[in-house]
Amino acid sequence: MKLHEYQAKEVLARFGVPVPRGRVARTPDEAEAIAKELGGRVVVKAQAHTGARGKAGGVKLAADPAEAKAHAANIIGMTLVTHQTGPQGLPVSSVLVEEAIDIEREIYLSVAIDNSPGMPVIIASAQGGMDIEEVAANTPDAIHKTWIDPACGFQPFQGRQLAFAVGLDGEHLNPASTLIGNLAKSFLDSDGSIVEINPLVVTKDGRLLAADAKFSIDESAEFRQQALAEQRDRSQEAEKELEAHDAGIQNYIKLDGNIGCLVNGAGLAMATLDAIKFAGGDAANFLDIGTANNPEAVVSALKIIGSDPDVKAVLINIFGGLARTDIIAEGAVQAINQGLVKQPVVVRLAGTNVEIGKQVLDDAGLDLGRADGFAEAARMAVEAAQNAKNAQNTQ
């Protein structure tokens, strides 16, 4: 779960990481008032879950409160389109109004989970303000890492090590070490999955400030991060994905193809996208129904898939383990009988209770494509989609 920049900075500030003075505004008047408080030049920044906001017109410098108000009026309500958002863009309903900073240097700083040692890793680079993956690819020596061992927690030497590595020595050594320790603490205490300060700036007057910040929370830990979970901004998430989330569906992601997929298990669901590709088609979505053992979840999932105008055919690919194929079959029959899926449907059932599941389908007397094998099912779905498209084109 992602936080907005202003929310991320609130968390950081609470843990003692210095951030520019500023506040969020939801109206141009509020933006003007905040700019007055800050008493000088300010930056007005669109709050949306994407990077590269500047290029898209989402970040503006204002010389005075009046200009801040004008910028806010332009930005609030806009749809921000960047290479990260896709063509549909993201709505902007608030701006962060902050003191403008005179930048001396830009540093990169982040904390994330490193799977292999199973520990959080703190990453720093003197090449701040840039895409860190590019820096890592082009100049790996410019990336400095240290891991937080849960047996002893973050240690001050780790902060010093990184500070020296990115050239924050002299008067900056102690503030930088402390800042890095506080950043680590904010990550651990908030169940972070990633926190990134890019750039961390050294200002011309010698301060260290987190000029931009991203903070994502581990969704599995939301049960103990209530205050952060409540900050979720649903406007930043795709409507159908939210609908799926609310229906208790494990994971739904909209894709570009025309074959709607209902699969159990993330691995099989990914492999289903691959199999469709191999059969010459493209999936319209990724949907992991998980182990939801009730027909209602299946009905909800098929409703989401069936109502997607891009979907020309539906592939239900279930290998039952904890999930029972008979329950999936029941849900599928209900959804089709309720008219929620008008597209051709291919069903492949295997695993737990497969004989009962198949019987359910047989008994329903519906016109379904049926397959036993995985590749075969994918082929049939691609063919059905192609036929449906052709039929549509000839109409």
Partner 1 sequence: MGVLMDSNSRVVVQGFGGAGQREAKTSLAYGTQVVCGVTPGRGGQVIEGVPVLNTVREAVEQHGANVSLIFVPAPFAADAILEAADAEIPTAICITEGIPVLDMMRVKRALSTKVTRLIGPNCPGVINPAEQARAGIMPVDVYLPGNVGVISRSGTLVYEAVDQLTRLGIGQSGSVGVGGDPIIGTSQREALELFEADPDTAAVVLIGEIGGTAEQEAAEYVKQMSKPVVAFIGGATAPPGRRMGHAGAIIAGPAGTAAAKQQALREAGAEVVENPGEIGTTMQRVLKERGLA
Show which residues are catalytic: 108, 196
Please select the residue that binds partner 1; options are 141, 205, 220, 230, rule is CB under 8 A. Answer: 220
388 binds, among partner 1, a copy of itself, none (CB under 5 to 8 A by kind): none
Please select the residue that binds partner 1; options are 201, 341, 354, 361, rule is CB under 8 A. Answer: 354
Helices 239-246, 295-306: inter-axial angle, 10-degree rounding? 170
Of 75 and 380, which has the nearer Cβ to partner 1?
380
Instruction: Name, in order, each residue with C-beta under 8 angstroms of 196's C-beta and a sequence gap of 6 or more.
Output: 108, 109, 110, 111, 132, 213, 214, 215
For residue 59, give the H/E element and its range.
strand 59-62
Does residue 319 touch partner 1 according to CB under 8 A?
Answer: yes
Site string for partner 1, 103-122 (x = CB under 8 A): ----------x-xx-xxx--
Residue whose C-alpha is closest to residue 241's, from 358, 361, 126, 88: 88
In the bound complex, what is the minimum distance in angstroms from residue 276's beta carbon to partner 1?
8
264 binds, among partner 1, a copy of itself, none (CB under 5 to 8 A by kind): partner 1
Of 74 and 178, which has the nearer Cβ to partner 1?
178
Question: Taking the mean position of all CA atoms in its chain, how far away is CA 55?
Answer: 21
In the region spanning residues 243 to 282, those forming contacts with a copy of itself, defined by CB under 8 A, are none
In the region spanning residues 120 to 179, those forming contacts with a copy of itself, defined by CB under 8 A, are 150-152
Would you state the structure tokens that stand for residue 33, as one six-digit string?
């008032």
Query: What burial class does residue 5 get, using C-beta atoms within 10 Å of its C-beta: 0-12 exposed, 13-18 middle, 19+ buried?
Result: buried
Does residue 181 touch partner 1 according to CB under 8 A?
Answer: no
CB 8 within 8 Å of CB 23: no
Query: What burial class does residue 270 get, using C-beta atoms within 10 Å of its C-beta: 0-12 exposed, 13-18 middle, 19+ buried?
Result: middle
236 binds, among a copy of itself, partner 1, none (CB under 5 to 8 A by kind): none
Residue whose C-alpha is closest to residue 209's, from 4, 7, 2, 22: 22
Would you state the structure tokens that stand for residue 243, as one six-digit string?
């609908």
Residue whose C-alpha is closest to residue 100's, from 44, 139, 54, 48: 44
Would you state the structure tokens that stand for residue 283, as one six-digit string?
């999936």
In the bound complex, what is the minimum distance in angstroms from residue 386's beta carbon to a copy of itself?
54
CA torsion 34-36-39-45 (nearest 10°) is: 40
277 binds, among partner 1, a copy of itself, none (CB under 5 to 8 A by kind): partner 1
Of 158 and 264, which has the nearer Cβ to a copy of itself?
158
221 binds, among partner 1, a copy of itself, none (CB under 5 to 8 A by kind): partner 1
- Single out the segment in contact with partner 1 by CB under 8 A; choices: 30-38, 70-78, 130-138, 200-208: 130-138
Of 290 and 306, which has the nearer Cβ to partner 1?
290
Please select the residue that binds partner 1; options are 33, 73, 255, 364, rule is CB under 8 A. Answer: 255
Of 121 and 270, which has the nearer Cβ to a copy of itself?
121
Tell me which residues touch a copy of itself (CB under 8 A): 150-152
